[in-house]
Amino acid sequence: MSAETQIREVALRAREASYELALATRGVKDAALHAMADQLLARAPEVLAANAEDVARAEADGAPANIVDRLRLTEERLSGMAQGLRDVAALADPVGEVVRGSTLANGLELRQVRVPFGVVGMIYEARPNVTADAAGICLKSGNAALLRGSSSARSSNAAIAEVLRDAVASGGLPADAVQLVPGDTHDSVKALMRARGLVDVLIPRGGAGLIRSVVEESTVPVIETGVGNVHVYVDRAADLDKALRLVLNSKTQRTSVCNSAESLLVHADVAHEFLPRVIEALQEEDVTIHGDTEFCHFDGVVAATDEDYATEYLALEISAAVVPDLEAAIAHIRRWSSGHTEAIVTEDLAAARRFTAAVDAAAVMVNASTRFTDGGEFGFGAEIGISTQKLHARGPMGLQEMTSTKYVVTGDGQVRE
């Protein structure tokens, strides 16, 4: 069977399931989510056995230790996945929310109501916990999920999906609400990306390469996630103690995530005082600084190239430059930003207003760590990813962002003259 035919079959089953899911009440969906959590724990041995296959294969293939670690499931990680599903159950149901409404002059009642997308495709890398997270968020938002994890996690994903499907069915919802995309080759990913009309939206989660290829090849509407070339700008009017704390937290609290800082800009008026302090503090945390000529006056700073300013390191590295003024900082950010998160440190209201207005990003921080751009931190309760595009959703995507809307118009025979 060709990859297109396979995708068509699973997508049509997902479509059928989506009709039931769209009409399921919150009670039924929450019961299914708890059943999913219960079953993940009850059937931990089979999931862990499947995971052991993936881990053994990765080790045999010589995968680096951090990759093997991301792949590995434990009782504790399974508990975390189960808790994640229960957390989603505890959230309000976005489906049916009336976004706006009015009564028109002719008496027609207009309501714009949240509805599920229908069929959501997810393409993601490495970590098998995403399989449960994505299935839970899709189910709660009334969407059927077509999941395509990385082939390195295929045994784990298959075991998790089987457990989740059984749990969904035990709750009276169609098992096909959760499906893995069949096939292990790039052909099946490609077929998924071309399944316009069968799949309503595609969400890639992973590295920049994966996301770029989905965005460029897909005819299905895509929500682009995650790449963060994140700047912290230390203004002339910054409180330098705060600035130091914010730069360190933004860069080093966790380096492998999209909301960590990758570039530091410092106003020239405070460079003399701030550079020695920030360079010392970063170097104490083993951060390599790729700096401009001002920064290169200090020991251990290496000269930055344009490539450095364009790079999302996701590691203990940072690019850095001194800028003559706020406008130069804004211009630099406009040139290099990936539109994820940008921060200013300043006590000057006018500078904060100018920066937040002029910088175009999913999140703009004033005197706050860039690490706060996160669905959990924002209070959304669950997050499917962080959108860096401007269409539909921008920034952390919670349950509401996993819905579309429809207009329901009710009358008693109104016609247009």
335 binds its own copies (CB under 8 A): no
CA of residue 175 relative to chain centroid, distance = 25
Query: Near its own copies by CB under 8 A, which window of 62-70, 75-83, 122-130, 361-369?
Result: 361-369
The per-residue b/e assignment along 361-390, b for 16 or more CB within 10 angstroms, e otherwise, is bbbbbebbbbbbbbbeeeebbbbbbbbbee
Q: Are strands 119-124 and 144-148 parallel, antiparallel or unpaired?
A: parallel
Q: 132 vs 178, 206, 257, 319, CA distance in Å? A: 10, 16, 20, 36
Task: Tell me which DSSP letter residue 297 carries.
Answer: T
Site for its own copies in 199-238 (CB under 8 A): 200-201, 215-216, 219, 221-223
* 260 phi and psi angles, rounded to 5 deg: -85, 150
What's the token pair of residue 177? Answer: 């609400």
Sheet holding 119-124, edge to edge: 178-180, 144-148, 119-124, 201-205
Site for its own copies in 4-33 (CB under 8 A): 19, 22-23
Lay out the site mask for its own copies across 106-125 (x = CB under 8 A, - = otherwise).
--x-x-x--x-xx-------
Number of residues in contact with its own copies, rule: CB under 8 A?
67
C-alpha dihedral sign at 46, 123, 79, 29: negative
Site for its own copies in 42-81 (CB under 8 A): none
Overall size of the chain counted in residues: 417
Report how far residue 364's alpha carbon sits from residue 97's, in angstroms, rounded to the nearest whole number.
28
Report the residue number, 155 or 369, with the smaller CB distance to its own copies.
Answer: 369
Query: Near its own copies by CB under 8 A, which window of 36-44, 170-178, 287-295, 364-372?
Result: 364-372
356 binds its own copies (CB under 8 A): yes
414 binds its own copies (CB under 8 A): yes
Report the residue number, 19 or 59, with the smaller CB distance to its own copies.
Answer: 19
Residue 360 C-beta: closest distance to its own copies, Å? 7
User: Among residues 186, 196, 272, 335, which is the contact residue for its own copies, using CB under 8 A?
Assistant: 196
User: Among residues 57, 187, 213, 372, which is the contact residue for its own copies, using CB under 8 A?
Assistant: 372
* 60 phi and psi angles, rounded to 5 deg: -65, -30
- Look-up: residue for tokens 């900082």? 329
Report how far residue 89's alpha carbon sits from residue 33's, in angstroms, rounded to the nearest whole number.
6
310 binds its own copies (CB under 8 A): no
Residue 102 C-beta: closest distance to its own copies, Å? 6
Report how far residue 95's alpha carbon sits from residue 151's, in angstroms, rounded to the nearest whole number.
33
User: Among residues 272, 297, 335, 390, which is the contact residue for its own copies, using CB under 8 A?
Assistant: 390
User: Among residues 28, 67, 328, 358, which is the contact residue for its own copies, using CB under 8 A?
Assistant: 358
Report the residue number, 162 or 200, with the smaller CB distance to its own copies.
Answer: 200
Q: Are strands 317-323 and 288-291 parallel, antiparallel or unpaired?
A: parallel
Q: Which residues bind its own copies (CB under 8 A)?
A: 19, 22-23, 102, 104, 108, 110, 112, 115, 117-118, 196, 200-201, 215-216, 219, 221-223, 239, 242, 245-246, 248-249, 253, 334, 352, 356-358, 360-369, 371-373, 377-379, 389-392, 394-395, 404-416
